[in-house]
Copies of this chain bind each other. A is one copy, B any other.
Amino acid sequence: MEADITNACMLYKDGKTICIDPSLPVFQLIGKKYTMFILGAIGNNNSRKNFNDIVKSIPGCSRTIIATRIKELIQAGMIRKCYSKILSYELTEFGYKTRKGIISFLAKLE
């Protein structure tokens, strides 16, 4: 049995309460164009991807918006820059969690 919502929190199914508030900026960023594709592209093969890899993996995308979104993802702590021979990007631990969250969210919608 679930209790009524209190203190701006949503009740978790096994009786555990999860606070919704901190996740709002995460959903806002996921709801922006290309965010999910970038997290998808970088996370696939668990590998680093450079800017051109990311652009190529998203047919018909805008390079400008991809560049903006990459900055926002870095700021949100989901991806980080790696400097080896060329600049590339990899998921942070939080980025991996978000990506897994998206996958399990999509699985529930099916």
Q: Report yes or no: B45 in contact with A10, Cβ–Cβ below 8 A.
A: no
Q: Report yes or no: B101 in contact with A12, Cβ–Cβ below 8 A.
A: no
Q: How far is the CB of A86 from chain B (nearest CB, A)?
A: 18
Q: Give the residues in chain B near A85, CB-CB below 8 Å.
A: none
Q: Size class of A's contact patch?
A: 35 or more
Q: Report yes or no: B107 in contact with A12, Cβ–Cβ below 8 A.
A: yes
Q: Report yes or no: A31 in contact with B40, Cβ–Cβ below 8 A.
A: no
A-B contact pairs, 17 of them (CB 8 A): A2-B45, A4-B45, A5-B37, A5-B57, A5-B58, A8-B59, A10-B39, A10-B102, A18-B103, A20-B36, A20-B106, A24-B31, A102-B105, A104-B104, A104-B105, A104-B107, A104-B108
